[in-house]
Structure 1
Amino acid sequence: MNSANIDVARTYFQAVQAGDLAALGELLDADIVWHQPGANRFSGEHKGQGAVFQMLGSMMETSRGTFAIDEIRTLMGNGDLVAATIHFTGSHDDASMSMDGVDLLRIENGKITEMWLFSADPAAEDAFWG
């Protein structure tokens, strides 16, 4: 099961990098629970595909389309969990961020049912998002 879940995670990250919303819609469970880190306007628990897409759209709007996962370094599986070490960037106005992160995906029946995100520098990410 680990390899199948790693394949789902890899496909998810490829869709994110390509901006393929249709593919993301196929990969995210309708009732996904997304745990966005920090203490900024996007932080907290987002429930359901609609809420997740709204948050991601607002992040892209805030970053003027620059928010991106530019590197997927490692994918590791353990049962229904896949951990990914990544690097992400973004900029807006005079602010920018570039940092490492870890995304933890729970995958059940080929769908991402839960997502936890971790940032290497939560204070810098909070400052960026406001």
Structure 2
Amino acid sequence: MDHDTPHKNESCRVVRRFFTEQDAGNLAVIDELTSDDFQLHAAGVPGPLDRNGLRGFAEAFYRAFPDLHHTFLHQVASGGTVASHVRMRGTHRGEFHGIPATGADIDLTAMQFTRVEQGKLIEHWTVIDQLSLLGQLGAPGGAPEVPPNRTLFANMYEAFTAGDMERLATHFDPDIVWHTAGSNQLSGTYRGRADTIASFEREFDLSAGTYRPVVRDVLTSDTRIVALLHADAQRGDRALSEEYAIVFAVDRGLVVEAWECWWDQRAVNEFWS
């Protein structure tokens, strides 16, 4: 988390409490910690859902997995938004999406993005590894096709790490908007392919080509890609070794907008200053 901003840490604590109390059986926390105009966006679920819809969604999930437990692996706070990388474990004790209880243990990951204001959840996005979940429950079917947006990310990552910016640009909408958090010489909002690619080239120039991202996890839906990464770089006697997340909005096979958030923004600002 961004340790130099206490209000961001408080937002992270609100999100953690929201889920840990539900795990303990206290679904009343939904009414306590959500705003009157709350909205839930869950991949694969028609919505958005309001507070009542969320309550029904949670009740059904906990009936299927009564011992469900959330473990927060990473959290990144930027402004009033908290990004959480979550591990979910439980036992299949009730019907889930037409699948009778199997007694199977589930272990999957999710990426969540939560907007918090004045101690309450205003809006929440979640992307769960649904293919892995269904596979662990023994759902019938052959090997699933690779989701198109997972392939899109793999192609972008390959182009970026190869330094092939011309090929990378072909995966961006001509009017792409890229948001880089922080207060350093790389921070800002870049508009269009040319400006966005120029920001990446400057990143390589400033680090003398040492900037290297490594993928930790990738989750996708029809319109979103969430990537959790680790970056290493060197600038003279300065070293960067930090976790970060990028959220991509995708339309018709192209990235139209992206948000980049860092685990320790202060350290990143100092490195690029």
TM-score calculated relative to the size of structure 2: 0.45
Structure 2 unpaired stretches of 5+: 1-145
Counterpart CA distance in 2 for 1:128 and 1:37 is 14
Pair 1:7 & 2:151 matched = yes
Within the candidate set 206, 216, 236, 1:62 is matched to: 206
* Residue in structure 2 matched with residue 21 of structure 1 by the alignment: 165
Equivalent pair of 1:15/1:23 in contact (CA under 8 Å): yes
* Residue in structure 1 matched with residue 193 of structure 2 by the alignment: 49
Give the C-alpha shift of residue 7 in structure 1. 1.2
Q: Which has the higher strand share?
A: 1
Counterpart CA distance in 2 for 1:106 and 1:65 is 27
Give the C-alpha shift of residue 67 in structure 1. 1.1
Q: One-letter code of the match for 2:156?
A: Y
Matches within 5 A, 1:1-130: 3-69=147-213, 71-130=214-273
Note the alpha carbon deviations across 1:24-80, whole angstroms, 9 max, x for none. 0211111110000111111111101111111111111111111121x1121101330
Structure 1 unpaired stretches of 5+: none
* Higher Cα radius of gyration: 2
- Give the structure, 1 or 2, with the largest relative contact order (CA under 8 Å, sep 6 or more): 1
Equivalent pair of 2:175/2:192 in contact (CA under 8 Å): yes
* Residue in structure 1 matched with residue 63 of structure 2 by the alignment: none
Equivalent pair of 2:149/2:221 in contact (CA under 8 Å): no
**Count of paired positions:** 128
Equivalent pair of 1:106/1:115 in contact (CA under 8 Å): yes
Percent identical across equivalent pairs?
25
Equivalent pair of 2:175/2:256 in contact (CA under 8 Å): yes
